[in-house]
Each structure stands twice: as C-alpha cells, then as structure tokens.
C-alpha cells in the first residue's frame, strides 16, 4: 500500500478516463444533490489515524520530504487538524478552526505559518506551502444547501461523458464578474467524489486532489446499508508551491473512544511555543 501511495498508482476501479464515453441517461441536479447530501450529512465529524507522505516546497523553493503517521480530525462546518508524528517527535501540525489557520513544521523546516481565514485569497497575504482549509475541502464531505442553490457560491452541474461523472463548479460574484472557486467530480453511479480542484481569484488551480479507495464508516446502532462512504486515499498537489502530499486514512471513526474531536481539538498552537525559530504571519500586511 505504501509503495502504491508513493508512486501515485491508482487502485483498480478508480480510473474515470474510460475508452468509451458513457452516453446513457443521466439524472437531474436535484436528485444528484440529494444523494450526495444523504451520504455526507452522516459524517459530521472524523477521527482517523493516517499515513502522510509529502514533499513540501518552502518559499525559498527548498524541498523537504516528510513521511509520518498521525491523526486527522475534522468537525463541520470549518474545522480540521492534521498532525504527523514519529516516535517522540512532532513532524508537522496544521489546521484551522474556521477563523485562523496554521502550519507548523519544527523538524528541518523549523517554521510556523499562520493567518486569518478571511485574508487567504487577498493580495496582501503571502503564500503557504499547504493550505489547511483546502484539505478540509478535498475530504469530499461537504453538503449542498439544497434549499438555496441560487445562493453564492452558486453550484452549476454538467455531465462529463468521458469520465462518466457529474461535475459541479461553484461560482462566486466578484466586483465586475463571476469567478469559479471550486470544482468537484462525482462518480455517476455512486455519487462519491473522486476529484477536487480549488481555484484562486484569477481562476488558476490552487490545489488539486484525486480521491480513491472508498470504504464505509461504521455507525453504532445503524444497519450497514446506512453507513456513509468516505475516500481513504487522497493525492494532493499544490501547483503554485510545487508541494505534493498523499494522505491515507487507515483507521476511521466519527469520534474516538474519548469523544474527540471536540472544540479543543482545533485550538491553534501558540506561535511563541511552537518549537520553531521562525514564525510567519502570512497576512500581517493585511492589517486588522
């Protein structure tokens, strides 16, 4: 499994570039949205052990290879934390509580980046090797506001015959035009996400992810046919920085036996106590 993750090989059954396009019947947007929401609404939180294999490129274009085991914690609507460890050592800690985000890499990189979510796409903000908020988006557990599909960001659906997939593109109004912010590809038959692209304000791909190896999450008291599905392998690339990571979830529950995640799971580390010599507030120039 580790070899497959590092080489980027796809598992059987995840190839959506079929030689013969699908030309059969498709479903209306309302039905597709309802099926996606039915699965994703059953995943309000995630507690997972994971394996992380990454190549991080810092602002000086130095390449750092990071391989670790760790924890992934998620709580809707906007909190996520990803921690990577080796025995006795924290290799990285990244996350967001919905208001602030951070990424700390004490070993070798010796740097912590942090900022405010409201400034992520503003010209006054510097770049960050991996945007934690983006990882939250690619988990593929987001829900549509089915009662307000005309409320920005507005989702538009099209069908991609070559990939046999429904493609949703979210659009948001700018001062003088509309701009795409996110694109998610869903398998036609299963309605499970297998590709996610996030765009910057100029329409460039800021992050791309390939999702595979879907498995069910067990829920006590529920029959297996009602257990939700979640991808277990995520291959992420960040074109601007050149960083790439593969995240494999090897043990997944809605919550741990101790009840995590809780609100305390997403408290940003104090930058002065993060164990790094360099702290970068990437939106310092944006002011208050």
288 residues of the chain, pLDDT tens digit each: 333 333 334 343 446 766 789 999 999 999 999 999 999 999 999 999 999 888 877 767 778 787 889 999 999 999 999 999 888 888 889 999 999 999 998 887 889 999 999 998 788 998 887 788 888 888 989 999 999 999 999 999 999 999 999 999 999 998 899 999 999 999 999 999 999 999 988 899 999 999 999 999 999 999 999 999 999 999 999 888 888 889 999 999 999 999 999 999 999 999 888 889 999 999 999 987
The neighbour count for residue 139, using CB atoms within 10 Å, is: 23
| Whole-number Cα distances in Å, 1 to 5, 129, 144, 230 | 6, 26, 33, 18
Query: Cβ contacts of residue 103 below 8 Å, gap of 6+?
Result: 92, 93, 94, 112, 113, 114, 128, 129, 130, 132
Comparing C-alpha atoms, which of 46, 54, 254 is closest to residue 136?
A: 46
> pTM for the full model?
0.87
Comparing C-alpha atoms, which of 159, 207, 208 is closest to residue 187?
A: 159
């Amino acid at each position: 499994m580790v070899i497959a993750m590092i080489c980027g090989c796809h598992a059987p059954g995840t190839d959506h570039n079929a030689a013969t396009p699908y030309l059969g019947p498709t479903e209306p947007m309302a039905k597709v949205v309802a099926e996606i929401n039915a699965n994703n609404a059953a995943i309000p939180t995630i507690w997972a052990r994971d394996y992380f294999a990454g190549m991080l490129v810092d602002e000086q274009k130095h390449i750092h290879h990071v391989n670790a085991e760790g924890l992934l914690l998620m709580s809707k609507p906007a909190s996520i934390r990803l921690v990577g460890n080796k025995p006795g050592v924290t290799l990285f800690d990244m996350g967001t509580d919905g208001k602030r985000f951070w990424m700390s890499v004490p070993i070798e990189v010796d740097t912590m980046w942090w900022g405010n979510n409201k400034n992520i796409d503003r010209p006054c903000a510097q770049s960050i090797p991996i945007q934690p908020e983006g990882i939250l988006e690619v988990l593929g557990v987001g829900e549509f506001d089915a009662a307000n599909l005309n409320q920005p960001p507005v989702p538009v659906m099209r069908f991609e015959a070559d990939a046999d997939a429904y493609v949703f593109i979210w659009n948001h109004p700018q001062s003088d035009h509309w701009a795409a912010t996110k694109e998610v590809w869903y398998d036609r038959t299963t309605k499970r996400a297998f590709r996610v692209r996030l765009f910057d304000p100029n329409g460039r791909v800021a992050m791309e992810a390939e999702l595979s190896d879907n498995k069910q999450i067990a829920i006590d008291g529920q029959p297996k046919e009602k257990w939700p599905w979640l991808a277990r392998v995520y291959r992420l690339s960040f074109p601007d920085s050149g960083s790439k990571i593969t995240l494999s979830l090897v043990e997944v529950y809605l919550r741990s036996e101790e009840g995590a995640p809780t609100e305390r799971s997403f408290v940003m580390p104090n930058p002065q106590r993060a164990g790094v010599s360099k702290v970068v507030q990437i939106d310092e120039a944006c002011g208050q």
